[in-house]
Structure 1
Amino acid sequence: MKMIYKLDFLKSETPDFTVFDLETTGLSNRRDRIVEIGAVRYSGGIITDSMNEVINPGIPIPPSASSIHGIYDRDVIGKPFIEEVLPRFLNLIAGSVLVAHNASFDVGFMRKALGRAEMDVPEIPVLDTIALAKAAWPGRRSYSLQNLAVFLAINVRKAHSAEDDSRVCLELLKKGLEVYRKGSVNE
């Protein structure tokens, strides 16, 4: 998973995108674990596949994390462990550009999870929608997903839910690409 720093490929290509978001037990990918994966595959202007999976992290979920994403220890009892979910996620993202908001956070957790599961990290391009938003709408006070959703009139159903954040991020990507392809983006 390698970050894309230049957006110029978007002018000539319309790749498949897989927009994803993670919810975690905390902020450290060394110590904390994934508790939810949401992902949406977008190809040719339509959603072609998606997944949303609550995951048993194998460690207690701190109350501070639960208060943000609403996933508690009781919610992960009997849920699959990350090793069971990763093959489906890797299949979903194969051949696409991986997209996330603040991608280094989500990609860092995904790399760690793959490493712990002794699975290869795929060589796949990663686009951060923060970079796209900064190019499309420079000078904003905040580039958080929720603030951009308000600015762009994107309906947020449940903030800090991997499933809904993936959907909101996809809408942000589509609006950013529209501005970008019109040529009014500052790179």
Structure 2
Amino acid sequence: MLLAPPASDTTPTPVLHQPLFRGLPPHLRTLAFIDLETTGLDASRHEVLEVAVLRVDARSLKVLAEYEARVQPTRLADAHPEALAVCGYSDEEWRDALPLEEALATVTPLLAGTLVAGHNTSFDWGFLVEGYRRAGLPLPGVDYHRLDTASLAWPLFATGEVESLSLNALAKRFGLHRPSPHRAMADARCALEVARCLAVRMARGGHMERLMEESGGVS
């Protein structure tokens, strides 16, 4: 369901100065953190099972509105069994799931005019693009860039501060609780929390400076 203002979140977050990023141009002042659960890894064959969107003020990283929905699959014969198990799919749990076009109709205004963000964003965005095509709906107008927390965290991995660029590894590094991994809204929230932690660190001259020092600078 659509929530505005968003539901309260008890996850500890870093203290953010308001606004954190003052110089953003108007067209980059709103982010949309997305996460999808799917029936497999191939957007051309598999389907969206669950979608979550957090519309976020890019200057303060505060949530403005949110939406999550389970989506009714139409081609379960093509689904990968492991993917269904990971997201906890069952006919009973998805009994009240929405048709894809109905879920996307609500997603559209939350995405419109945003810079799409998340963890491994290209995967989720690829499924959304294919979903809009299948539903016969126009793709929302979004910025052509993508913001990916995995890419933002590369210096932590390069300097050995995290063991991988997975969402689990980054959440563990920053002491973030993941109540329901592989649920769309839980993972979207976790990606936002990781982004907040990384933003505060970068604003304080954190891991980029350390990487430069340890690598001897840029040649």
TM-score (norm 2): 0.74
Aligned residues of 1:98 and 1:124 also touching (Cα < 8 A): yes
Is 1:41 the counterpart of 2:55? The answer is yes
Shift of 1:45: 4.0
Specify which of 13, 16, 23 is matched with residue 12 of structure 1. 23
Cα distance in 2, alignment partners of residues 136 and 183 from structure 1: 13
Higher deviation after alignment, 119-128 or 132-141 = 132-141
- Higher RCO structure, 1 or 2 (CA under 8 Å, sep 6+): 1
Specify which of 184, 189, 193 is matched with residue 167 of structure 1. 189
SS class of match (2:123): helix
Higher deviation after alignment, 116-125 or 15-24 = 116-125
Is 1:32 the counterpart of 2:43? The answer is no
Length, aligned pairs only: 178
SS class of match (2:55): strand
Shift of 1:131: 0.9
Cα distance in 1, alignment partners of residues 142 and 207 from structure 2: 24
Q: CA offsets, 1:95-146, max 9 Å, x none?
A: 2221111111101101111111222223423211111111466433301001
Aligned residues of 1:136 and 1:176 also touching (Cα < 8 A): no
Aligned residues of 1:159 and 1:165 also touching (Cα < 8 A): yes
Query: Structure 1 unaligned runs (5+)?
Result: 1-9
Amino acid at match of 2:191: C
Aligned residues of 2:87 and 2:182 also touching (Cα < 8 A): yes
Q: Percent identity?
A: 27
Q: CA offsets, 1:27-79, max 9 Å, x none?
A: 11010000000121222442211111011011225431122111223322342
- Over alpha carbons, which structure has the higher Rg? 2
TM-score (norm 1): 0.86
SS class of match (2:92): helix
Amino acid at match of 2:88: G
